[in-house]
């Protein structure tokens, strides 16, 4: 079963993972052949990133006070004319080289290739993503169309699908018919343009393991020809 990526997308999630690794990884350091220098670097990165997240929150809160004060001074109204306090950050400020997340992801990649690494260790360190259940029955492609060099370009997002199946209506009273299967997210229809103006229509459906899955897209249309 496919797994999601272990690394949280938001900064609060990332700093929580760093904090956990800084606390839990020393338990497995010998087993996973993680050096004291690696641990020291990880713990410094965790402390620095936690400080930066907290400082960022303080500064943002302080900025809101100053924005309110600035607006009051500019426009008038009820409130104090006293300047707000400046942001008060704790000291000392921990400093590390730029690239905290690239360093921790590189360390995690090494950990996962260690001889004695196990899934259980990965779970304890929160470096194993959760199981993803892929349900293609509800898939429905959203397709868009543009004209480039006189040719229709069908644009779509692949997601977890293998490819997309496109049907086309050439405005010749034959209706929609199979056109192609493609993996190109910006597929160019190179069919000969008509000699007179025509309205071409398209619809598409995702494919997974050489079969149609999910629902057909909405039909879109574009004017082609002279």
Q: In Å, how far from its chain's centre is CA 210?
A: 27
Give pLDDT tens digits for 181-194. 999 999 999 999 88
Residue 1 has pLDDT above 60, yes or no: no
Residue 168 has pLDDT above 70, yes or no: yes
Q: In Å, how far from its chain's centre is CA 64?
A: 29
Give pLDDT tens digits for 2-42. 567 899 999 999 999 999 999 999 999 999 999 999 999 99
153, two tokens: 């370009």
Q: What is the pTM of this model?
A: 0.56
Across all residues in the chain, what is the average pLDDT? 92
Give pLDDT tens digits for 63-109. 988 898 898 888 888 777 788 888 787 888 888 999 999 999 999 99
Please name which of 97, 85, 18, 88 lies closest in space to residue 57, comparing C-alpha atoms: 88
8 A C-beta contact, residue 34 and residue 111 = yes
């Amino acid at each position: 079963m496919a797994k999601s990526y272990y690394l949280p997308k938001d900064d609060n999630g990332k700093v929580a993972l760093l904090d956990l690794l800084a606390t839990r990884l020393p338990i497995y350091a010998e087993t996973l052949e993680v050096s004291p220098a690696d641990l020291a670097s990880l713990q410094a990165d965790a402390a620095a990133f936690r400080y930066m997240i907290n400082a960022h929150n303080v500064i943002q809160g302080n900025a809101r006070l100053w924005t309110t004060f600035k607006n009051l001074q500019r426009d008038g109204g009820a409130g104090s004319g006293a300047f707000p306090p400046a942001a008060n950050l704790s000291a000392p400020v921990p400093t590390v080289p730029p690239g905290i997340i690239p360093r921790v992801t590189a360390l995690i990649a090494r950990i996962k290739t260690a001889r004695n690494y196990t899934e259980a260790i990965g779970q304890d360190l929160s470096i194993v993503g959760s199981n993803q259940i892929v349900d293609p029955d509800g898939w429905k492609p959203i397709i868009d169309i543009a004209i480039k060099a006189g040719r229709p370009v069908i644009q779509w997002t692949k997601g977890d699908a293998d490819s997309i199946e496109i049907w086309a209506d050439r405005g010749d009273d034959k209706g929609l018919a199979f056109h192609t299967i493609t993996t190109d997210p910006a597929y160019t229809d190179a069919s000969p343009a008509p000699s007179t103006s025509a309205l071409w229509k398209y619809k598409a459906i995702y494919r997974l393991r050489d079969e149609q899955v999910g629902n057909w897209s909405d039909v879109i249309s574009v004017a082609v020809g002279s």
